[in-house]
Amino acid sequence: MPSFFRIAIAFFGTILLISLWLPMPTKKQIPQQQQKLLVMCTTSMIADAVASIAQDRINLRCLMGPGVDPHLYRPTQRDMHLFAQADIIFYNGLHLEGKMTDLLGRMQRQKPTYAVGEALPAKELLTAYGETIFDPHVWHDVKLWMQVVTYICSILQQHDPEYHRDYEEKTKKYLEKLQKLDEYVKIELQKISEKQRILVTAHDAFRYFGKSYGIRVEGLQGTSTDSEISTRDMQERAHFIIKHKIKAIFVESSVPHKSIQALQQAVLARGWKVIIGPDLYSDALADAIDKATYYDMIKHNVDAIVSALR
């Protein structure tokens, strides 16, 4: 073999060995401008808030997709892997992720993990069972959710200080949009007569909505879909609907429809006709393009309620 080729092979062989021996750069060794936080969110509502604030500044993962019931969700091995990789974890708390409470508690001891609902002042929260457990469905009050958005912004600024102002500007713009949404909800619900301003749903997810916007809420189940519906509960709700001459009751996208359908039949059996209104989005965003954000979720719910109860 000519000496030229022997020298070339030896040279490139040496380069290959050196490249294999050198360690791969770790995350800390990557230049700051190339780094992006990996942010993990449990629910689609939280993921939407984070996306609205951070946009392309982070890598975002959402544990529970559209239509998933967070009360009943059990984590998989894939989820555990995602948790291990994440730089920041945001979850709702207030017992929303009931089957994941222990896991999220362990995560808080291992890495930055934040319960956004529990950051709200206790005086603004509604109790669910007794005086120690709070209703977790805080996002149905747009004003409360705006406080959550502000809290998420502060956490992102803390962990990504180089883009402090960028997060602040995007949050301010998003809050202005939510302020208009809050005003829209108030105006639209006034179109329902006061006597008909009663919302009967599959489970008690809309109490914050009712308190903030002046509409009475009656859920067939309690605040968790894990609770049982008794025959007595069904009959009492049927009597309530007839007494108040309620025109429509509502199913929820993440809850089986059979309980509301059974309630409708119980009412019909007593001689009162009640329709089942459009699906409401209670514990998860929709997968449809026109209802896929928090803003669209709230607007859809309000439009559906008004159209059925007017």
Q: Cβ contacts of residue 245 below 8 Å, gap of 6+?
A: 195, 272
Percent of the chain with pLDDT over 90: 72
**Domains in the chain, CATH or no CATH each:** 34-180 (3.40.50.1980), 187-309 (3.40.50.1980)
- For residue 291, the model assigns a pLDDT of 58
Residue 289 has pLDDT above 70, yes or no: no
Give yes or no for residue 196 having a pLDDT over 60. Answer: yes
Q: Please say if the pLDDT value at position 51 is more than 60.
A: yes
Instruction: Indicate whether 78 pLDDT > 80.
Output: yes
Nearest Cα to Cα of residue 182 among 237, 118, 139:
139
Alpha-carbon distance of 243 to 287, in angstroms, equals: 37
CA atoms of 16 and 244, how far apart (whole Å):
81
Task: Specify the pLDDT at position 77.
Answer: 92
Give the three-state DSSP class for 71. Answer: coil
* Distance, CA of 96 to CA of 296 (rounded, Å): 22
Q: Given pLDDT bands bounded at 50, 70 and 90, which one contains residue 36? A: very high
CA dist., res. 35 & res. 73, Å (int): 31
How many Å apart are CA 285 and CA 288, to the nearest integer?
Answer: 9
**Cα–Cα distance between 175 and 172 in angstroms, integer?**
5
Query: Average per-residue pLDDT in the chain?
Result: 87
**pLDDT range class, residue 50, cuts 50, 70, 90:** very high
pLDDT above 90 for 180: yes
Mean pLDDT, residues 169-194? 98
- 10 Å CB burial of residue 4 (0-12, 13-18, 19+) is exposed
In this predicted model, what pLDDT tens digit does every residue of 112-133 receive, in sequence order?
999 999 999 999 999 987 667 8
Largest Cα separation within the chain, whole Å, is: 102
